[in-house]
Amino acid sequence: MPKVLLTGGSGFIAAHVLDILLKRGYEVITTVRSETKATQIRTKYPNAPLSVAIVPDIAAPNAFDDVLAQNGSGLDYVQHTASPFHYKWKDARTEVLDPAINGTNSVFAAIAKHAPAVKRVVVTSSFAAIITEGDLVNPARTFSEADWNPSTYEDGLTGAPATTYRVSKKYAEKAAWDFVKNKPGFDVATICPPMVFGPVAHHLDSLSGINTSNSRFVDLIQGKWKTEIPNSGVFVWVDVRDVAEAHVRAMELPEAGGKRFFTTAGYYDNRSILRVVSAAKVPELVEKDALPTDVDAVKGAPGADFAQEKVHKFDNAFTTKTLGISWTPLEKTAVDTVKSLLQIPA
């Protein structure tokens, strides 16, 4: 039974990766920040070949050394997903940039030191590491796996919160590629999703703890989109279950080594999400009158509606062909997400 280390196992994407790994018969060691999160995972998978370790601060020096020293023997693969994605920070360097970059350096160094049998490390990166911010509204620009965000570390310190996050993802991914230039005995593959939507697989005590990308669905089911549809943000998206599947396929397929993968299902906008959810007539939303009677009549904030002639193009044909994924449509993702969130206490 192959053995996999999964960092950040209580995260939105990681929880789906964990589910796939266990269903496919892998032995998994996963890391989380607290004993509370560890207990939640153990409770969900009581009889699985699974162990949970505590890494309270991934930005700390040698953060993953103890985990790898204790579990590195016989370890075959690593899925490194742990990285912050939120805008609720006060200090860009210590709360966003350093945790992302140092976390990658720490886990890679620990693998090289303690886990000589590891064949591949798969890293959760982001479309944020691909984009040029100014070209998000440039219809002449096409983004693919070959592109890198030109923003600098200094931009991450001084820029808007979205810029800080994007810089953190760029430099965390760069750290991975720089590390394997020294041929440590394993290769790397990176997964670069844009906005990630989908049902929740990790434990949440309340909707207040929802991940950033799914927070729009919380606002929708709480009736906040009845009078105005908010800015959509980046206009490309993907289902979390497809992202998780991409992580595992990038680990399993020999030809995926040394490659970046831009995982996206295509374009979306918030009005389309509202239209899909309204058409589904989810009983709980109908009962609480959370949806408008005429979606197309609702006012849209600037950026609420997608306009092809105003935004970038994309090319992820390489990813689709190499990983062989049939991307989940928005109609399924939006409804599944809403139904999932309705099971969580408000």
CATH number at residue 121: 3.40.50.720
- Indicate whether 287 belongs to any domain: no
Local mean pLDDT, 10-residue blocks, the chain (346 residues): 95 97 98 96 96 91 94 95 70 88 93 97 97 97 98 95 93 97 96 97 92 94 97 96 98 98 98 98 96 97 95 98 98 98 93
Number of domains in the chain: 1
- Indicate whether 343 belongs to any domain: no
User: What integer pLDDT is reported at residue 86 of this predicted model?
Assistant: 57
- Indicate whether 191 belongs to any domain: yes
- Indicate whether 345 belongs to any domain: no
Give, in order, the Cα–Cα distances in Å from 247 to each of 18, 20, 78, 160.
10, 10, 10, 29
SS3 111: helix
User: What integer pLDDT is reported at residue 85 of this predicted model?
Assistant: 56
- Indicate whether 325 belongs to any domain: yes
Q: Classify burial at 95, counting beta carbons within 10 Å of its beta carbon; exposed 0-12, middle 13-18, buried 19 or more.
A: middle
Q: What is the pLDDT of residues 21-42, one digit of tens each?
A: 999 999 999 999 999 999 999 9
Model's pTM, two decimal places?
A: 0.96
- Indicate whether 29 belongs to any domain: yes
- Indicate whether 94 belongs to any domain: yes
What is the domain extent for residue 192? Answer: 3-202+236-265+313-329
User: What integer pLDDT is reported at residue 346 of this predicted model?
Assistant: 82
User: What integer pLDDT is reported at residue 210 of this predicted model?
Assistant: 92
- Give, as one character, the DSSP assignment of residue 160: -
